């Protein structure tokens, strides 16, 4: 089946469109980032994200169509993420996709954001597509998700476990702020950690034995306690205007070893993610392992997973790990091929689960 799919992604703060051929080949991939807009808040400001999507989405779609050198008559479907994500952001993408599909008499295909991340692994990068075989285990790690999924075929997912508190990417962002690093925290911590010693601090690992679940809240708190030991907090004003004395003598205030702490934190996160992935791959006797999501761009994580496994490990290039619409196009192709087309009453589902 030969098909050209227009994919649209607006689940968070990236406005993205891509044209994918036959679920494998990237004809175009355009992303309008809002990173600079949200950096001043240390995270995504939902209302700003929604408004910026409205301004960016049609120029992004036109650019994607132009770069792919396709017309509306060349397209076979419009695929769009309808969850999970920020409600206002999702609404922009879904409503535009509905209008385009209806106006051009094209099938509309609603796509799960997490599935789009996973299926990015099937794209051909610099040559032939990777020889991915089922069954497989996929580790999805991003700002909002940390999940282990067993995949037996396209569209067949079994959730093995996930985060019970902070997602891995969220923990990276929060610890990045504690260390005074720029937003987003993931790339900043990875870069800073290159100059640090991952064994400098003994930080906790929440193994949650007997499950494939994750927890990073305790690790984040442990980093906070280390920061507080190194740097005295500024005294808070009392109601009468007087100030309390510092809780420790000034002589004990030491500069924070940011690189060592970043490296130790990253090592703790990677250790748990990689080991749980190894255990799942062994238990279910999979043929390969996939990584997906923004945190999958972390090269230390990719390397650690590969070192622990004796089956092939696939991970998209870093620029395809973060939010983009290429995986939406891949997922749209397989949905169309399987006859899974959405009705015109498709609505956004901010809490949509994969399985």
pTM for this model (two decimals): 0.90
Distance CA 111, CA 114 (A): 9
Chain centroid offset of residue 37 CA: 19
Residue 47 confidence (pLDDT): 87
Q: What local confidence, expressed as pLDDT, does residue 249 receive?
A: 42
Q: Do 348 and 100 contact (CB within 8 A), yes or no?
A: no
Q: How far apart are CA 119 and CA 122, in angstroms?
A: 6
Q: What is the pLDDT of residue 253?
A: 61
Q: Determine the Cα–Cα distance for residues 58 and 284; give it in Å rounded to an integer.
A: 44
In the sheet where 14-21 sits, what is the strand order? Answer: 25-33, 14-21, 4-9, 77-83, 108-112
Q: What is the set of domains in the chain, with CATH numbers? A: 4-125+320-337 (3.30.420.40), 136-315 (3.30.420.40)
User: Is 223 in a helix, a strand, or coil?
Assistant: helix
Q: pLDDT tens per residue, the chain (355 residues)?
A: 689 999 999 999 999 999 999 999 999 999 998 877 777 777 788 889 999 999 999 999 999 999 999 999 999 999 999 999 999 999 999 999 999 999 999 999 999 999 999 999 999 998 889 999 999 999 999 988 899 999 999 999 999 999 999 999 999 999 999 999 998 899 999 999 999 999 999 999 999 999 999 999 999 999 999 999 987 555 454 454 444 444 444 444 678 999 999 999 999 999 999 999 999 999 999 999 999 999 999 999 999 999 999 999 999 999 999 999 999 999 999 999 999 999 999 999 999 999 8
pLDDT value at position 128?
Answer: 85
With beta carbons less than 8 A apart as the criterion, state whether 329 and 79 touch: yes
DSSP per-residue letters across 156-176 = EEEEEEEBSS--HHHHHHHHH
pLDDT of residue 121: 98
Instruction: Please give the pLDDT value at position 252.
Output: 43
């Amino acid at each position: 089946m030969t098909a050209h799919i227009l994919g649209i992604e607006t689940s968070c703060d990236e406005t993205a469109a891509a044209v994918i051929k036959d679920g494998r080949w990237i004809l175009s991939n355009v992303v309008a980032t809002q990173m600079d807009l949200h950096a001043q808040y240390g995270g995504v400001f939902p209302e700003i994200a929604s408004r910026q999507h409205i301004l960016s989405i049609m120029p992004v779609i036109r650019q994607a169509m132009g770069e792919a050198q396709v017309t509306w008559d060349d397209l076979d479907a419009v695929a769009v993420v309808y969850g999970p994500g920020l409600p206002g952001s999702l609404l922009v993408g879904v409503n535009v996709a509905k209008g385009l599909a209806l106006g051009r008499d094209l099938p509309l295909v609603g796509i799960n954001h997490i599935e789009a991340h996973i299926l990015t692994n099937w794209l051909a990068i610099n040559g032939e597509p990777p020889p991915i075989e089922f069954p497989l285990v996929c580790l999805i790690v991003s700002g909002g998700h940390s999940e282990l999924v067993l995949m037996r075929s396209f569209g067949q997912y079994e959730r093995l476990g996930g985060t019970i508190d902070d997602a891995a990417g969220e923990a990276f962002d929060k610890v990045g702020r504690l260390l005074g690093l720029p937003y987003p925290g993931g790339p900043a911590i990875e870069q800073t950690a290159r100059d640090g010693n991952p064994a400098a601090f003994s930080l906790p690992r929440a193994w949650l034995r007997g499950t494939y679940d994750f927890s990073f809240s305790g690790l984040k708190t442990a980093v906070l306690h280390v920061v507080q030991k190194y740097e005295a907090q500024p005294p808070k004003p009392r109601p009468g205007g007087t100030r309390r004395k510092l809780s420790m003598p000034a002589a004990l205030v030491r500069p924070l070893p940011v690189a060592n702490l970043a490296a130790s934190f990253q090592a703790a996160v990677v250790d748990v993610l990689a080991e749980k992935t190894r255990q799942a791959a062994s238990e279910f006797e999979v043929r390969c392992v996939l990584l997906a999501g923004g945190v999958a761009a972390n090269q230390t994580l990719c390397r650690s997973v590969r070192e622990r496994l004796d089956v092939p490990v696939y991970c998209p290039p870093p620029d395809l790990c973060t939010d983009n619409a290429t995986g939406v196009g891949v997922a749209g192709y397989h949905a169309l091929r399987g006859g899974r087309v959405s009705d015109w009453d498709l609505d956004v589902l901010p809490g949509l689960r994969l399985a």
